[in-house]
Each structure stands twice: as structure tokens, then as C-alpha cells.
Copies of this chain bind each other. A is one copy, B any other.
Amino acid sequence: MSDHHPASGLDDAVHQRVRLGVLAILAEVRDADFAYLRDALQVTDGNLSRHLQTLEQSGHVAVRKGFEGRRPRTWIAATDAGRQALETELGALRTLIDRVDRAGAGG
């Protein structure tokens, strides 16, 4: 048996922990500000910035800078491509989890 395991279909662009978290949160709240994502994912400003830049470059999120009163804020939203990539990722993860569960090692 040498079929490909579902893990081989995971795309690092979306699977990486922080980036997966960003896209999962943006599926819930649509538009999140930088501080919200940072606190929810418990990462540093620098770490989040780096991953948002990667997601923006790959077309998975759109970043919009604006003001709330005089306070500068950065808003992040998933693009259609980002939502689609999250669906693909979650589909591969579901398949992976089902296989482990069927093997009797699952909870």
C-alpha cells in the first residue's frame, strides 16, 4: 500500500499554525483588527506581522489601514481565495482525523 496520505495534500501556506489561526478567525469574524488577532493567537506583533505579510502576498488576506478617531488601526479580512484555501485545508484535516480515528487511536 503506497497511496498518498492526506497530510501530503496540506499546503504550508495555510497549514502553518499562525496562518491557519488567522484564516480560521477570519471565517468567524470577517474583519479583525491586528490586536485582536495577536491576542487571540497569543503571538508577538512581529510574528503576526510576518505571517500576515505572507498571507497578503499569497492573496489569502487583504489588509486595510485606517483610523478609529485619531487612533491608527489595521484591519484584516480573508479574500475569496483565502476562504477557499481554508476549506481545502479543513477538508484535508478532516480526512486525516477520520483515518486516525478509524485506526482506533482517536479519542
A-to-B contact residues, CB < 8 Å: 2-8, 10, 12, 15, 17-18, 20-21, 24-25, 27-28, 36, 39-43, 83, 86-87, 90-91, 93-94, 96-97, 99-100, 103, 105-107
Q: Considering the chains assembled together, what is the distance between the CA atoms of A91 and B101 in angstroms?
A: 11
With a cutoff of 8 Å between Cβ atoms, the chain B residues found around residue A94 in the complex are 97
With a cutoff of 8 Å between Cβ atoms, the chain B residues found around residue A42 in the complex are 4, 8
Q: Give 20 new A-B contacts, CB below 8 A, not counting A24-B100, A93-B93, A93-B97.
A: A3-B40, A4-B42, A5-B21, A5-B25, A6-B24, A7-B17, A7-B21, A7-B24, A8-B21, A8-B40, A8-B42, A8-B43, A10-B20, A12-B17, A15-B15, A27-B105, A28-B99, A28-B105, A90-B97, A94-B97
